[in-house]
Amino acid sequence: MNRLLAYLEEAVASLWRNRVRSILTMLGMIIGSASIIAVFGISRAATSGINSTFASFGQSPVIIYVDNSQNYPQQAQIHYRDLAPVKAALGGSAASVMPIWQKTFAVSFGSTRDYVPVNPDSAYHSDGLKMAEGRRIDAQDVNSAARVCDITQDLATKFFGNRPAVGNFLRVNGGQYRVVGVFADIKGSFLNSIGGTSNLLVPYTTYHSDLTDAPMDFLAIYPTDPLRADAVGKVAIAALQHVHGRRAKYTMQNTADQLKIFTNVLSIVGLGLSVIGGVALVVAGIGIMNIMLVSVTERTREIGIRKAIGANRNDIALQFLMEAVLLSICGGGIGMALGLLTTIGAASLLSKQLGTLLIPYLLIVSIALIFSLLVGTVFGTYPALRAAAMDPIEALRS
Amino acid sequence: MNNQNAIELRDIKKTYKNGALEVPVLHGINASVAHGEYVAIMGPSGSGKSTLMNLIGCLDRATSGTYILDGVDVSSLNDNELAEIRLKKLGFVFQGFNLLARTDAIKNVALPLFYAGIPQRKRNDAALAVLEQVGLADRAKHKPNELSGGQQQRVAIARALINDPAVLLADEPTGNLDTKTSDDILALFNKLYENGRTIIMVTHDEEVARHAKRIIRLRDGLIVSDGPSGA
């Protein structure tokens, strides 16, 4: 240990003597390491953000909508009355079946008026949305088609300012709706992906009875067993075809599958970029090897002196290897710091869209250290062995 | 220990191979140096004295023959074993001083102890003690380029002495020095000899060789004379 420390001291001194050259050599390592860390960190952080976004959707529904490529899509349109036969066909295999409309209505309070995206909601809430105040829409609201609504924080501020929102009434498409709840932060949520931070939710029964009698945009089914999502979707489509005829065509979208595809794409992109960063590291390693070979040649006499004094092969090899590793670790360390800063910066930008992101600090630090150590060792070995193999007489004569 | 020689060379031959060409340099050297002797090896260039010096210094191996250094047969040791012998039993003083540049005197002197695995504090204490012996304790923190030639050679001698070697080898130790400084260095060798140190010095300078107590003369790879210097 003592000895290793002494070698380290020697290596530091030697690198310091040639500081400009050392820094230039490190540059390759800095760039390689920074790019790998940034790419890896950002893609991991983004994946965590996207995963948590999808997680806040709660359980993923199977979405069924009309296939518009068929000859008579209007005949296949899903009406509110189709809910009953679909529910009957699904029985206990669906936890919830809900019609979805995506429409915008005029909403006003006093003289404040705006067009706001309105979404249906049921009493089944698998998402993790938290309320700032009030409650979610419940079974009683749905059963009685009550004129109640939940709104986002932005809407509460827009219409009510500092006044309490819960208990107050909003005029939606001409009807009076009592506000029963205000959502807390909905960054990175299902609502967010539909209508930004302005959103108003009413019971789907009320949506149908008061707001629109148009066919639904799509049907959302929450399977009881998420693993049987495809089978549940097929049963629902069969039930719809039973009502609309065999020629009616429907498309099913399993959001859980989409999430998988999306994260796969992201990880492939991340992997690809990491490979490029890896190439940069190899190039940096070759740079280190090159400089170490130059250094060995320049210091032939020094090697000769050390050998004459009694240094053996290992002593000499270790000394030069130490320098190479030190170069790569310093470069890798600086690169890691830069990459980490880039990751933190990018994550803070992305978090506006994706909510809180997890940056895997420990993983990043250990990857940077391991790679730097690896590059230094791999590319420092050959110059070190060359130095160690030198004949002391030849070396002293130089 | 006392009846044992510091150096024993038996029929040492050295042939350099240059491709297919074989160049014999030493043709069978027989000599022994007792502990405490002060020997000069002389000869014109091409006589093989440098080759002999390298062999004695364990920097090279003989093609044939037996070399016993301080009771150890070093004829057939490998590189690392020779390094160990150099570390423990030999001290080198070169014509060009061969100090590590940009490294202060005390670190240069302590370097062999570093390779011997002695902790830093002990190394520094020992190095300072040897520098004291050569009269340079006050220059411990000076780097070679801040020292005169004579001072650099003293640092080199201190470095050669720090591991208390069985044999001190000096290769033209005064070759780069002016007469006055040469005399100082030779006086230092003399003092070391009087303290019982075994010294072998290679030189082509009769004047310098006369300071040794015994002179071995080489010519064409053979010893042509071996006797007291008359000093």
DSSP secondary structure letter of residue A207 = I
In a domain, B72, yes or no: yes
Note the pLDDT of residue A192: 46
**Structural domain of residue B67, as residue ranges?**
5-97+158-228
Q: Which of A343, A300, A335 is nearest to A320 (CA)?
A: A300
* CATH number of residue B70's parent domain: 3.40.50.300
Record: contact A309-B87, CB cut-off 8 A: yes
Give CA–CA dist A100/A62, Å, rounded: 12
Residues of A in Cβ contact (< 8 Å) with B112: 309-310
A314/B88 CB distance under 8 A: no
Structure tokens at B156: 């080199």
Beta-bridge mates of residue B39: B200, B214
ipTM higher than threshold 0.90: yes
Contact by Cβ (8 Å): B166, B89? yes
Using a CB-CB cut-off of 8 Å, the residues of chain B touching A15 are none
pLDDT score at A40: 84
Interhelix angle A255-298/A313-354, rounded to 10 degrees, is 150
Average pLDDT, integer, range B46-69: 92
Classify residue B110: in a domain, yes or no.
no
Nearest to A284 by CA among A27, A15, A17, A3: A27
Number of domains in chain B: 1
Chain B contacts in chain A segment 304-333 (CB below 8 A): 304-315
Question: How high does pLDDT run on average in chain B?
Answer: 91
Q: Which pair of structure tokens corresponds to residue A388?
A: 């160690």
Alpha helices (runs of H) in chain A, residue ranges in sequence order = 2-17, 19-56, 73-76, 83-90, 139-143, 153-160, 190-195, 204-206, 229-244, 255-298, 300-309, 313-354, 361-388, 392-397
**pLDDT per residue over A108-162, tens digit each?**
998 899 999 998 999 888 776 788 899 999 999 999 999 999 998 889 999 998 8
Helix (H) or strand (E) holding B38: strand B38-42
Question: Which stretches of chain A drop beneath a pLDDT of 70?
Answer: 1-2, 53-58, 128, 185-196, 355
Inter-chain contact B115–A311, Cβ cutoff 8 Å? yes
What average pLDDT does the segment B206-213 reach? 92
Of A222, A206, A225, residue with least CA distance to A87: A222
The answer, yes or no, to whether residue B3 has pLDDT greater than 60, is: no
**How many whole angstroms separate alpha carbon A182 and alpha carbon A396?**
83
Model's pTM, two decimal places? 0.71
Tell me what pLDDT residue A58 has: 65
pLDDT of residue A368: 86
In a domain, B102, yes or no: no
By the CB < 8 Å criterion, does A17 face chain B? yes
Q: Is the dihedral of CA A319, A325, A331, A336 positive or negative?
A: negative
d(CA B138, CA B196): 26
pLDDT tens for residues B127-157?
Answer: 999 999 999 999 999 999 999 999 999 999 9
| B175 within domain boundaries | yes
Q: Where are the domains of chain A?
A: 2-55+260-397, 62-254
pLDDT of residue A359: 82
* Cα distance between residue B185 and residue B188, in whole Å: 5
**DSSP 8-class letter at B99:** P
